Structure 1
């Protein structure tokens, strides 16, 4: 959940079923450990993909609470407008196994893998990459959780309380000289591919967050959407819980791999 701004401390009911960033990093690091261990069996002792987790995104999970209802952090708006802070713009380094034998063993195919072996050692089906996925499983939040997360946002926009608070926000913005019909329009009106925000963008973003605070837009919208999600989750609980159980198995497998690695 967000640690700052107007959305600070807010977490939607569906987030219990979503895969969080820290879960993904843990799974990716376990996967990397298995890759490295497998590749070492074939003599690739310098095989070293980047360690995951160095480039965190703004959202903790797919609910994206910091910006689910538009910009919500006054300090970020004053500094960056609708742009992401610089530390969140960094892309993870591009990586792929070295061409030749390393790639062949990692992927399980190529001229260096002959009759399923490399240097007399059997290569796992699909290579070291596939072997790791078979051991860990795939970390996924499941289709139902994704549907609840998206459907509640669409449905919440039709709730009278949300429509009213958006109208109040729009009136506030108009009073500050900015005519927008909904909280997503301001960010869409600027080119966020530019290196930095313009003075105009910062002015609009700052007014945007101030109007959200004045009208209680985020608290009202969050309450309405939370109620919708609670209803949907109750109706789909069996399916959602099954997906959660699968997540738990994969997370446990990842923790086991990382624990074994830390004792070596």
Structure 2
């Protein structure tokens, strides 16, 4: 379950590629309300999308240096929207006018990127803890739909091989190498997380746990929790002690989560931890500056291509 994954480790693997950017029609013409592009643009509720920086709790407004190099949600979802538009247009050339993969953006994750700041240092939002314990809010617990093209000709044209294709053609029309999926990837590129950015993001967390200031802060937090009747030696363990796959948090879970955030606030653990990890990341980024900037430039090129595709489809 995604809600359990979001809490069980140091930080969640962000589900970044399930969103959509809603754009306005630029030419003043009334759009085709039934077109796959228009349906996609109107289906997602942007108010439920995670912000670039946390807007509540102990980590309000905080971001780590590595986040400049991580793929953010709004960038990733625009790429997904562009990819979907290219798939739909390509499949329509072969007569699959009803081809309609799931609309991006309907099932946003809790985090903006893989830094997962809202829960990077464990629970950080007192109001959320009081309402949901360590569970995610209900709207963030929905899993994205599982989708694959229909077996037979549709799948064959989409992937470029299979029943219904003859000599690389479908009904006499040449199918692109790798099908419509391959054609879209060649046009758009693949938006992926840079390896160096991912390493900095993960290793800084591991190293920060060894910093004396963080260890002292965790010890103070643990003493505070003990005073409240809870024996934990790590801010990650309270969430792991509850079944987060249940629909709702238990009263005990809510009480522990509330105490957890209160003790972080009292001891200043979150602020200390963030400062130490920021210093670690600054040094790591300085050591990898050239490769990180090169990966960022590649990401920006792919983002620009996605923006062009979306703009062209909206104004078509």
TM-score, structure 1 as length reference: 0.99
Q: Which residue of 2 aligns with 1:168?
A: 220
Question: Which residue of structure 1 lines up, in the alignment, with residue 78 of structure 2?
Answer: 26
For 1:98-138, what per-residue CA distance to the aligned partner results, in whole angstroms no more than 9, with x for missing partners? 12111110011112111011011110001001110111111
Determine which of 296, 302, 316 is the counterpart of 1:250. 302
**1:39-188 mapped onto 2 (5 Å cutoff):** 39-188=91-240
d(CA) in 1 for partners of 2:225, 2:174: 66
Q: Distance in 1 between matches of 2:156 and 2:211?
A: 55
Distance 2:144 2:204 in 1: 31
One of 25, 36, 44 as aligned partner of 2:88: 36
Q: State the alpha-carbon separation in 2 of the partners of residues 94 and 194 from structure 1.
A: 21
Shift of 1:194: 1.6
After the TM superposition, which segments of 4 or more aligned residues of structure 1 sit over 3 Å from their partners? none
Is the partner of 1:241 in helix, strand or coil?
A: helix
Residues 141 and 244 in structure 1, CA contact (< 8 A), matched pair in contact too: no
| 1:172-214 residue CA offsets vs partner (Å, 9 max, x unmatched) | 1111111110100101111111221111110000000001111
| Cα-to-partner distance string for 1:153-187 (whole Å, 9 max, x where unaligned) | 01101111111111111111111111110100101
The number of aligned residues is 264
Structure 1: 5+ residue stretches without partners = none
Q: Which residue of 1 aligns with 2:48?
A: none
Any unmatched runs of 5+ in structure 2? 1-52
TM-score, length basis structure 2: 0.82
In the alignment, the residues of structure 1 paired with residue 151 and residue 200 of structure 2 have an alpha-carbon distance, to the nearest angstrom, of 42
